[in-house]
A and B are shown apart, each in its own frame.
Chain A
Amino acid sequence: MEKAAFYILSFVIIVSSLFMITRKNPVHSVLWMLLTFFSVAGIFIQLNAEFIAATQVIVYAGAILVLYLFVVMLLNPKTHGFAKIPYRYGMTILVVIVFVLQIFMAASMSKVLGIKGVITSEKMAEIGNVKLFGAELFNTYIVPFEIASILLLVAMIGAIVLALRK
């Protein structure tokens, strides 16, 4: 059951992301990206990260994607096709080589290094993902959390300043 869910989700992720980068119409690309994000949320649920899955749906599929859709519809919706560069085939081969090497490295060299923590799947099922996550975020990572909020404030001001019509 778990295996079947994983394979179905990965198939949907890979196919929809391939469709996303090859569509001519940017609106279609955005909609394929929505499917990718929902499937990634499914993968997060498989990995005991329910809160992250909910955040993925709310933030990525809800906020970021609507922002992209607004800009796509606001600007010129016609596409510009793919890069027409003379060394395109060389670049394609390079990308494919890097890509295959990545997969082989991930498959062969992956070891679970580092210190094993105490939050096993059983403990996660007992206490609950959100409770453990909140305790970790607000006890250990409180300063990075504040910095992230300042980052969002700076990004908001920057976006307003950049998009303001003079």
Chain B
Amino acid sequence: MLLEHYLILSAVVFGIGMTGVLIQRNLILIFMSLELMLNAVNINLAAYSKYLSQISGQVFIIFIMSVAAAEAAVGLALIVSLYRNKQTINSDEFKILKW
């Protein structure tokens, strides 16, 4: 397999994740689309790690995974506390920090 195949797959998955962030109104689904974008980045790093014959890319995947885990924990805690205050997780309802 060529490097391009993996890069195209990664670009497609990243685009789908970006579309999900833009079109969804449920805050949880927006966060899930962010995780999808991080996964696309991981595919890219692993592909370059193989085709450059280095293993540093795989180490960086571990760091991205730990950042994703931290982001999921803090983000979901934020969503839970937002839900306690407003009784909804619709992103259109949260306009207090808009400008």
Contact = CB atoms under 8 A, between A and B. Distances in A.
Contacts of A155: 69-71, 73-74
A30 B5 CA distance: 27
A137 B62 contact: yes
Question: Could you tell me the dominant secondary structure of chain A's interface residues?
Answer: helix
Contacts of A33: 32, 35-36
A49 B69 contact: no
Contacts of A118: 53
Interface residues of A, number: 84
A144 B36 contact: no
Contacts of B8: 103, 106-107
Contacts of A63: 69
Contacts of B89: 75-76, 80
A103 B57 CA distance: 21
Contacts of A152: 66, 69-70
A124 to B, nearest CB: 8
Contact of B46 (A49, A76, A115, A158): A49
Given A43-B6, A63-B69, A80-B90, A26 B53 contact: no
Nearest to A102: B11
B31 to A, nearest CB: 7
A164 B25 CA distance: 25
